Amino acid sequence: MAEKSIGLIELSSVAAGFQVADTMLKAGNVRLLLSRSICSGKYMVLIGGETAGVEAAVAAGAEVANGLLIDSFVIANIHPDVITALGRNSPVQPTGALGILESFNVTTLLQAADACAKAANVTLLEVRLAMALGGKAFVTLTGDIGSVQASVAAGRAVIAEAGVLVSAVVISRPHPDVYREVI
């Protein structure tokens, strides 16, 4: 099933994360994409489905968070490459320039990845969320230099506006060894 929308709740408690995940799944006709503890003792629940179901599930989850909610969001009409890059388990060959965006939090990075994918003709290589990153998240993408620059600029604007930008980099002609580390 292709997700039309995604919703995410980030919590400051692992225990609350399980309760929120259960509540979200019971509140709307949604599919669980990710539910796990993340660095710094936080928990995230990512769901997908039709927009109305996702909105209902996120609202219900936020309601039972009991003051432990860090952030939540819904992205309607998510670019399909974001979902693909989240679950990527086989490498994609780079096609040119390399762009990397890094955020202090998961929710904003997912919004930025969607903006990147919609801004230009790029391929999202990977969206990595908070595992072994101290709670941070990043997205890598590839394409021709102009597309990567436009895409990174769009994603950077989202992260910077939220005040959680760590770094945004465009490498026009990466050394092959750099790409080997990415894929």
* Cα–Cα dist 61/59, whole Å: 5
Closest C-alpha to 105, from 51, 174, 38 = 38
Domain count, the chain: 2
Q: Is there a single domain that holds both residue 31 and residue 54?
A: yes
> Residue 171: pLDDT band by 50, 70, 90 thresholds?
very high
Residues pairing with 38 in the sheet: 42
Same-domain status, 178 and 100: yes
Domain hosting 95: range is 80-182
Residues 26, 99 share a domain: no
Rounded to whole angstroms, the Cα distance separating 46 from 164 reads 20
Distance in angstroms (rounded) separating the CA atoms of residues 93 and 72: 33
Cβ-contact 48, 2 below 8 angstroms: no
pLDDT average, residue stretch 124-130: 85
Percent pLDDT > 90 in the chain is 67
- The pLDDT > 70 percentage for the chain reads 90
pTM of the model: 0.85
Last residue within a domain, chosen from 44, 76, 108: 76
Q: What is the pLDDT of residues 73-112, one digit of tens each?
A: 999 999 999 988 886 665 677 778 999 999 988 889 999 9
Asked whether residue 23 falls in the same domain as residue 85, the answer is no
For residues 119 and 141, what is the distance between their CA atoms, to the nearest angstrom? 12
DSSP structure string for the chain: ---SEEEEEEES-HHHHHHHHHHHHHHSSEEEEEEEEEGGGEEEEEEEE-HHHHHHHHHHHHHTSTT-EEEEEEEET--HHHHHHHT--S-----SEEEEEEESSHHHHHHHHHHHHHHSS-EEEEEEESTTTTT-EEEEEEE-HHHHHHHHHHHHHHHHHHT-EEEEEEESS--HHHHHHH-
CATH of the domain at 67: 3.30.70.1710
- φ/ψ (deg, to 5) at 19: -65, -45
CA distance 80 to 40: 29
Examine the fold and report which residue of 52, 76, 100 is the final residue of a domain before the chain moves on. 76
